[in-house]
A and B are shown apart, each in its own frame.
Chain A
Amino acid sequence: MPAWGWVVVAVVVIALVAAVLIYNRLVALRNRVDNGWSQIDVQLRRRYDLIPNLVRTVQGYAAHERGLFESVTEARARAIDASAVADQADAENQITQGLRKLMAVAEAYPDLKANEGFLALQEELTGTESKIAYARQFYNDQVMRLNTLIGSFPSSVIAGTFGFREREFFDIEDPARAPATVEFS
């Protein structure tokens, strides 16, 4: 084979190796995005489980806040049923708002604040809220990396060939970074 033949072979081999590396990177990132999404899901579900308990506990002390309890319970039902990302994010925001108000209401009842069951629920809620924030942070980081790789050349060619699609960011309000309404000490 002439010298230029070897050059062609070398270029083809290098291109193939690069394509395989990029493909593997895309798969790894897509799995991380999926994993990040399921982490968010786990934490949101944990929050759904906490809501009935929390509402019941606060209700025992502040029965007249009916509107607030209903709005949180209704938002929870809507979030569980939601199928589109945007719908769910909207319902989650309503839950976050409602829970924040609920905790602000609890602030006015010293007996409630001293209740051990309530304190445990409060720690669970604070923990879950921050886990939601962290899961969302991880998910959005991975989505950004995946989208960047899909959008830039030459990985865009591989992504196009094998049908990798850009993902949507999960934009809910950041409960953990909001003023510490949920945390009293």
Chain B
Amino acid sequence: MYEQIASNRRRTWLLIAGAVILLGAVGYALGLIWQSGPAGLVIALVVAIALSIGSYAYGDRVVLASTRARPVTPDEQPRLHNIVEGLSIAAGIPKPRVYVVPEVAPNAFATGRDPDHASIAVTDGLLKTMSRVELEGVVGHELAHVVDRDILVGTVVATLAGAVILLSEFFTRSWWWGGFRGRRGGDRGGGGAEAIIFAVGIVLLILAPIFAQIIRFSVSRQREYLADAQGALLTRYPPGLASALRKIGAASGIPMHSANNATAHLWLNQPSRVEGERMGSLERLFSTHPPIEERIRRLEEM
């Protein structure tokens, strides 16, 4: 456990250093192209450092807002609050803040930078479909992520990589539609501004898959198994989580509206924006979760 915490701290620093170096290099390259001297490098470094500090300090709020999570009181959700409080006692950490995400698909995630600043969010669908022991299993898994500081890496990577991924999606979309409209109108008059947007778009297009790889490296599949095992150690009842995972697997065809590639790794189970069993091609590129059947099998062997 202490090794996990140390390793996650190290990963977070590596991640931040990597992002600063990468963005700095891009800024430097753009500065060379436009012959504007070190301005590009300076701007890129300032942006990268601001992003890093922001994602460390406010990453949990960004993640919660992006999923439209709503804080709930013990009066609204007594069962959920009782379970979170009980398992926090078992784990020896303060009780995290409790949120509910308005989604039909059963799923859950935890975010924050350490156990003192942690939040746990579950979807409406999870509350509706799970029995008490199943809900305990899910909450136990999320609290294991909190204890191990997986939430620190997960949140920083979500907001750091998320900023780049969101920008690249924005650029490629606006570029695609813009190009489409331009061709149809036969208007070919492109100015310098368009060239700049084009260049930035290309750069981000190249960066996006790199960041996807970074997410996959940062949040290994191994830690999902580990959190399953540690969660089961908290509840002392592995079949609870196994049964919850079975229900979640059966409902994996239900799309999640707030699913996006930057936060997918945080969820208990890989969310999908596309209806049906199959993931979108871009979503598969960002796949970070081990197959649910394998997780169930390991829980049943405990």
Contacts and interface: CB of A to CB of B under 8 A. Distances in A.
A183 interface: yes
Contacts of B237: 177
Given A127-B83, A183-B132, A185-B131, A135 B89 contact: yes
A157 B23 CA distance: 55
B100 to A, nearest CB: 17
Contacts of A36: 92
B89 A177 contact: no
Contacts, number: 48
Interface in B208-262: 234, 236-237
A123 interface: yes
Contacts of B102: none
A133 B90 CA distance: 8
Contacts of A43: 89
Contacts of A120: 78
Contacts of B136: 130
Nearest to B85: A131
B90 A134 contact: yes
Contacts of A137: 90, 236
B87 interface: yes
Nearest to A42: B89
A39 B89 contact: yes
B82 interface: yes
A130 B78 contact: no
Which of B78, B91, B136 gathers the greatest number of chain A CB atoms within 10 Å? B78
Given A131-B82, A177-B236, A126 B89 contact: no
A124 interface: yes
Consensus secondary structure, chain B interface: helix
B10 interface: no
Interface residues of B, number: 18
B79 interface: yes
Interface string B188-223: 000000000000000000000000000000000000
B86 interface: yes
A183 B134 CA distance: 14
A32 to B, nearest CB: 7
Interface residues of A, number: 22
Nearest to A127: B82
A138 interface: yes
Contacts of A177: 236-237
Given A134-B87, A138-B90, A127 B79 contact: yes
B78 A127 contact: yes
A127 B132 CA distance: 10
A138 B89 contact: yes
B32 to A, nearest CB: 52
Given A120-B78, A127-B86, 7 more contacts: A36-B92, A123-B78, A127-B82, A133-B86, A135-B89, A137-B236, A138-B92
Interface of B: 78-79, 81-83, 85-87, 89-92, 131-132, 136, 234, 236-237
7 contacts: A32-B92, A124-B78, A127-B82, A131-B82, A131-B85, A134-B234, A185-B131
4 A-B pairs closest in CB distance: A127-B82, A134-B90, A131-B86, A134-B86
